[in-house]
Structure 1
Amino acid sequence: MSTPIKNRIGGVFIPVSDIEKAKKWYSEILGLEGGEIYFGHIYTAPMDGTAGLILDTMPKWRDEKGNISPYQVPSIQFVTDDIHASFQFMKDNNVELLTEIEDDFYFVFRDPDGNVLMICKDVS
């Protein structure tokens, strides 16, 4: 089938409450340097790979009380070459861990905004 839509993910959005705090936290956890804040509510993080990480306070998508739902399931996966060192790093940085290392392959954690995320061994 012919389609004008590319089979590539251009970016992954994560809803956050405070763009500066989120930028600082993700930069420390993922070792990010640089990136830009646009329009006062979007931070584009410099990432390796096919998709970019975009932190966004999403003012347009909040409810009448100003709230937005965080991800309640691990829908975004970060990769590592050393799952045990990554788990210990997150523990040492007081990140809320939701699981232990499962199947010697992945673990799940929560960011400061309540988003549930995952770290897995890189199989590429």
Structure 2
Amino acid sequence: MGSPIQRRVGQVFVPVRDMAAAIGWYAALLGFEPGAASHEGTIYDIPTDGETRLSLDANRPDFEASGPPRFFLWTDDMAATVAHLRALDVRITSDVEDIGSVFLVQFEDPDGNALMVCQRA
């Protein structure tokens, strides 16, 4: 059975309430120079490596930040990642876990969105 829908993720949207604060926080987290939001200040495309795009979205500021992480980011150095999160005073919500194929750590952005970083085992 085929489908015209491709099994490739094009873009992930992260809901935020305060776009300027979110851009600054993600810039510090991911190491990029912050820029201006588009779409009348409601969308900010984070520079990414690879095909999948990551955007901050302030179109629905009344969202509920709950549930597990909806995506993860890669790292090659989990210890350096955890140290970086701590240096930024990020709320880390899990210990580093070894689930066999990857090591992972979970944390939250200032809006309470659950985020995760993984390192291949």
Unaligned regions of 5+ residues in structure 2, if any? none
C-alpha distance in 1 between matches for 2:111 and 2:58: 10
How many equivalent pairs are there?
117
Structure 2: which amino acid aligns with 1:21?
Answer: A
Contact 1:33 1:46 survives alignment (8 Å): no
**TM-score between both structures, scaled by the size of structure 1:** 0.84
- After superposition, the Cα gap between the structure-2 partners of 1:6 and 1:34, relative to the gap in structure 1 and judged at 3 Å, is farther
Deviating 4+ runs (over 6 angstroms): none
Contact 1:34 1:46 survives alignment (8 Å): no
Residues 63-82 of structure 1 aligned to structure 2 (within 5 Å): 67-82=62-77
Contact 2:23 2:34 survives alignment (8 Å): no
1:13 corresponds to 2:13: yes
Q: Offset at 1:33?
A: 3.2
Contact 1:35 1:45 survives alignment (8 Å): no
C-alpha distance in 2 between matches for 1:17 and 1:28: 18
1:47-104: CA deviation from partner (whole Å, max 9, x where unpaired): 0122111100123xx6xxxx21124211220110000110011011100000111117
Residue equivalent to 2:78: 83
- After superposition, the Cα gap between the structure-2 partners of 1:93 and 1:22, relative to the gap in structure 1 and judged at 3 Å, is same
Residues 25-104 of structure 1 aligned to structure 2 (within 5 Å): 25-33=25-33, 37-39=37-39, 40-59=41-60, 67-103=62-98
When the two chains are superposed, the root-mean-square deviation of aligned CA atoms in Å is 1.9
C-alpha distance in 2 between matches for 1:80 and 1:121: 5
**TM-score between both structures, scaled by the size of structure 2:** 0.86
